Structure 1
């Protein structure tokens, strides 16, 4: 299926064509199963709160059981969701045409009236954000082999999206809550609602910034320039979370209350890099863990072109290849300030830490539509 049908569809008189009718026509040529709203209401026991297993900006996810006994995850988009019909169709289109062991499988969808629902395979161990990074409740004990396997599995899934999907797919929102775990704790990348398709002849796409603070690559957050390297940056942050057992967007580290990426670089500069390792890890191969941390730093370098591709990342993690640390440069740090400024007034631009004579070269007006105001980017 092509991408042209993702555009607004209008009749010759300028009136919108019925979305459900359009969707039925498009999905007739795909492997996506169409569910009735009544069948999903039955599967989730009328979307009972006890079946709620997740939620976010796009809506709520419920556990459901189909008539044949199959367990599914039912993602209901809220009426207030920013994900419109185009983004909904994007998610259906992309997930229906790709299959990989480390990607969440789409089972089907429902479009009736105002209802927009996606039905996925059910993954019983929730997300990495809950299983590893939560402060209490559903946390699972992860030894080093399991953490390494999650890093590698996620890298394989992302590498598939970048290198083997046709056309290549940039996820745009790689984060712990979008890495789901099956019964054997194998990772699967989910939530393709923010993904973008990339033609081979396009180097970057200027787009509305969408993603999660703490994982956003600086060039994407500030200039809205989206490339595969934005996913690489987010993956690097994710790796640091897996190694450290700490959330990148909920905590501050060190005496200076730094972001996780910044703190890791500071520890590297001070020769104390292993201090980032999760205290709950009692036994682990130091050399291998150190390699994973350094690969994460390669992924989060400030300049996108200096970051490795996901294929290279996978090789760096899974093979005994030489890491040229002499070429490693400082990470780019995107900070957001939620304070509102007057409409039309420009942002103040802080100087780069460690380079007081150099001002921030990235500039963004306050009325750009971004939900958070960017006030600093550096390498320092």
Structure 2
């Protein structure tokens, strides 16, 4: 699957999941609203029957629109006569049971003669008992008539509890979304690994192609009859074959070794090292690969820096970083290496004036076999193992390595403890 098709599939999948989530949330809201309206409708019908029964008992006429809903769970009923709390409670319980309203409620009665609230009780329909109100008190309204109020303190939680199937389906959908996200993440990682593998194979092909071609060409020359008459050429081509074979063997050994070694299997041979001298030797070796006009600057500190580390691996770290700084600078490079020491340990920085590294590649360049994509251009040889090796050795020394890059160049900074 090409990159465009892959992005299209991912986009369609994200849109589909987002659409399902939107529909789930939308219908959950609709279902809750429907349950809420059904509850309010049943309460209004029940209170209307309560009003009718009380008016028949008191032989009064029903007031126009006697029921007022002040909030989603608070209802007020206006009457023309006094209200006996005991009778009111019995009628309320009866009517609510008829309407299958199993919600606990509080009721309060207002007596307009004394201008005060005559509080009723908190009624638990499931337990079929009553007690003094435990929720907020009923507010006194600006009314001249008798009225009673009914308050459902647990209405919202009860309605939500009745929608358990929606909650279960939402949980299942959430699991699906999490699984989908994990799958996408795994696909992206796999695709990235596939690209790294592809780049590694391309780089390895180019690395091996040169010595193999040279060996094949030299072998063809040695097979000619005239070469026997020219011992100097015979020796020259034999040396070329040996040199390229050794180079090829070293490349194979390096790939196999780096592909199998792990950080916890590295064996360090620690010794006291003069860091200034070690850096100077690495600089001398790296200068052999400099382009014409390039330079590597190193001004050693006034005082020697002594560190307890593995000399071979530490030398390889510095040489690899210097070699990268030289190779990945298109023009004649100017590389500056510096070292310093404090109570926290040793700091080594290597700065070049190349084109820099994109920020998104800062973490990836330390991964095994990763190289910054350059298409079909392979002007810089390598397998993507150098920085992986550097980080692995630095961490084996219980240190850390950081990178800071811009269009004006890149700086690698290595922090190492003096001793462990």
TM, length-normalised to structure 1? 0.21
Bigger Rg, which one: 2
User: Normalising to structure 2: TM-score of the pair?
Assistant: 0.20
